[in-house]
Amino acid sequence: MKMKLQEVYSALKIQADEIPNVEITGVCFDSRKAKTGDLFFPLKGDRDGHEFIESAISNGATATVWQKDHEIVDKSIPYVVVDDVMKAFETLTKYYLAKVNPKVVAVTGSNGKTTTKDMIASILAVNNNVAKTPKNFNNEIGVPFTILNMPINTEVLVVEMGMDRPGQIDHLSGLAHPDVSVVTMIGEAHIEFFGTRDKIADAKMEITRHLQEDGLFIYDGDEPLLTERAEDVQRNKATFGEKETNTIYATTIESDKQKTSFKTNLWPEIEFTVPIMGDYNVNNAMAALLVGRRYHVQVENMQKALSDLYLTENRTEWLKARNGADILSDVYNSNPTAAAEVLNNLKKLSTGRKIVVLGDMLELGSASKQLHESLADHIDPKDFQKVYLVGNEMKALYDRLVTKYDPADLSWYSKEQLDKLTENLKEETNSNDTILLKASHGIHLENVLKELV
C-alpha cells in the first residue's frame, strides 16, 4: 500500500480543512504489530480496539482511525474520524483494490485452502507480481487486511476465504470480486454450524456469486455436491479430481514422507513434484495448475514452481522424537476428511511400527459421534500397531476399535490426562516407530509434542 493521508480522506469521502502531509504504507489492526507508515484501525473484537490506540502509537503507527462516538484522547499523531470503523475498513479496501486493479484469485474449501493458495501464488509468481493472504488471514478482517497491504505494483492477488456461517463468503467475495474462484473440496469442517454437507456446499458456492463475467470457476469434479451446484454458475468452468471426466486428472501418483509426485492427462510427459506428503495434495496442485494454465504460465515453469513450493503454514510436519522416532505432527487442526486422508497416506509408508495419537475433532455438532466413529474404517492393527485416543468425542472411536485391537494396543485418555499420555508414549515407543499426532487445537496435543521432540 502507498497513499497520502489526503487520499485516505478522499477514499472515505471525508471533508477536512487541514490534512497532515503523511504517507500511509500499510494498515494494521493489531497494535502490537504497528509500525511506521501504518494506519491503525481500532476494530472491535473481544475488546474495543480504541483501547489499543496508544499502544499502536507507541509501536510506531503513523496515523489512526477514530470512531466518532469515541472521545479522541490522544492527538499525538494524525487521525481520521469515521462513522463506523469496520465500514471504513471495507470502503478503503474497495477503493484500494480498484486502484491497484490486480487479477484476483479466490480460494475456499473445507480442507486445503492455505496449501492451494500457496501453490497458486508460487505458480503465478513466475510471470507476475503476486500478493497473497498471509498465514490464514481469511475472514472479514483478514481479507481486507490482505487487500490493503498488497504492494501497489501487484498484478495478481491470491485471496483465501474461510467461513463459519452462511453469507460470510458471499460478503468476502463481494469485497474481492474474483476473476478466478476455486473450491478445493467439501468436508465436515464447521458442520456444527451448518448441520449438513449440503449446506456447507451452499455456503462454499457463495464464492461464485461475485465472480467476474469472464471469470473461471475451478472445483472438485468428483464431488456431486459441487457438480450439481456448478450447473447454475454461468461462467467458464474447469474441474480437477480422480475421474477421467475432469478437465485435469492424475494418471500416476507416488508419495513418500517428504514429497508427492504425479503426472496428469493435460501434460502426459511432465512429472510434477510437491515437497509435501499426501495423495490428497495432488488435487490441490491440480487446482493450482488450472489457474496457471488460465494465466498462460508455461508448464515447465509451473513444474519448477511446485517443486520449489514454500508453504506459509505447513501444519503437517515431520519431526524427530528424542528417542529417534519419526513424528508426523498436525496438532492444530483436525476434521474427519483430513484425518482419514492422512491415515490412508501414512499406512502406505514402508516403515517400522506406525502409532496413531488422535484427539477430538471439534465443531462437529450432533454428527460428532458418527463422524468420530467413521475413522474406524481407516484404522486397522495391520496398518497401525498402537492407537492412543484423547478426549470425550474420541470415546466413540475407542468403542468401535475395541473389537479390533488387543487391550494393550488401544488406549483412551481424557484431555486432562495429557501427562499420562506423554509418559506412556515415552515408555512404549522406540527409534523405529512412526508416530502420528493429530487433533483439533482445543485438545492441546502441542503440549505432548513439546515433551517428545
**Which among 307, 340, 374 is the end of a domain?**
307
* CA distances in angstroms from 330 to 148, 259, 306, 436, 447, listed in the order given: 31, 17, 22, 8, 12
pLDDT at 314: 56
The reply to whether 354 falls in a domain is: yes
Q: Looking at the structure, tell me whether residues 71 and 119 fall in a common domain.
A: no
pLDDT at 315: 67
The reply to whether 65 falls in a domain is: yes
Nearest one of 402, 420, 413 to 358, comparing CA atoms: 413
Q: Looking at the structure, tell me whether residues 301 and 338 fall in a common domain.
A: no
pLDDT per residue as tens digits for the range 333-389: 899 999 999 999 999 887 789 999 999 999 899 999 999 999 999 999 999 999 999
CATH code of 56's domain: 3.40.1390.10
Q: Looking at the structure, tell me whether residues 161 and 28 fall in a common domain.
A: no
Band (pLDDT 50/70/90 cuts) for residue 126 is very high
Band (pLDDT 50/70/90 cuts) for residue 422 is very high
What three-state secondary structure class fits 453? coil
Give mean pLDDT, residues 265-294. 96
Residue 195 has pLDDT above 90, yes or no: no
Q: Looking at the structure, tell me whether residues 290 and 421 fall in a common domain.
A: no
Q: Looking at the structure, tell me whether residues 301 and 324 fall in a common domain.
A: no
Residue 453 has pLDDT above 80, yes or no: yes
pLDDT at 73: 87
Band (pLDDT 50/70/90 cuts) for residue 316 is confident
CATH code of 172's domain: 3.40.1190.10
Rounded percentage of the chain residues whose pLDDT exceeds 90: 90
Residue 71 has pLDDT above 70, yes or no: yes
Q: Looking at the structure, tell me whether residues 126 and 70 fall in a common domain.
A: no
Residue 313 has pLDDT above 70, yes or no: no
Residue 34 has pLDDT above 60, yes or no: yes
Q: Residue 236 phi/psi, 5° resolution?
A: -65, 145
Which residues are bridge partners to 103 per DSSP? 156
Q: Looking at the structure, tell me whether residues 173 and 254 fall in a common domain.
A: yes
Known binding residues are 109-115
Give mean pLDDT, residues 46-61. 96
Q: Looking at the structure, tell me whether residues 142 and 281 fall in a common domain.
A: yes
pLDDT at 274: 97
The reply to whether 288 falls in a domain is: yes
CA pair distance 169, 185, nearest whole angstrom: 15
**Which among 281, 307, 333 is the end of a domain?**
307
**Which among 307, 331, 362 is the end of a domain?**
307
pTM (2 decimals)?
0.91
Contact 434, 348 (CB under 8 A): no
The reply to whether 92 falls in a domain is: no
H or E element at residue 97: helix 85-100
Give mean pLDDT, residues 312-322. 80
* Domain count of the fold of the chain: 3
The reply to whether 97 falls in a domain is: no
Ramachandran region, residue 140 (left: φ > 0; alpha: ψ -120 to 50; beta: rest)? alpha
Radius of gyration of the chain (CA): 24
The reply to whether 53 falls in a domain is: yes
Residue 125 has pLDDT above 90, yes or no: yes
The reply to whether 87 falls in a domain is: no
Residue 278 has pLDDT above 80, yes or no: yes
Q: Looking at the structure, tell me whether residues 334 and 438 fall in a common domain.
A: yes
Q: Please give the residue range of the domain that contains residue 25.
A: 3-82
Q: Looking at the structure, tell me whether residues 341 and 401 fall in a common domain.
A: yes
Give mean pLDDT, residues 5-20. 95
Q: Looking at the structure, tell me whether residues 160 and 66 fall in a common domain.
A: no
The reply to whether 414 falls in a domain is: yes
Known binding residues for ATP are 109-115
CATH code of 374's domain: 3.90.190.20
pLDDT per residue as tens digits for the range 234-267: 999 999 999 999 999 999 999 988 899 999 999 9
Q: Looking at the structure, tell me whether residues 241 and 142 fall in a common domain.
A: yes
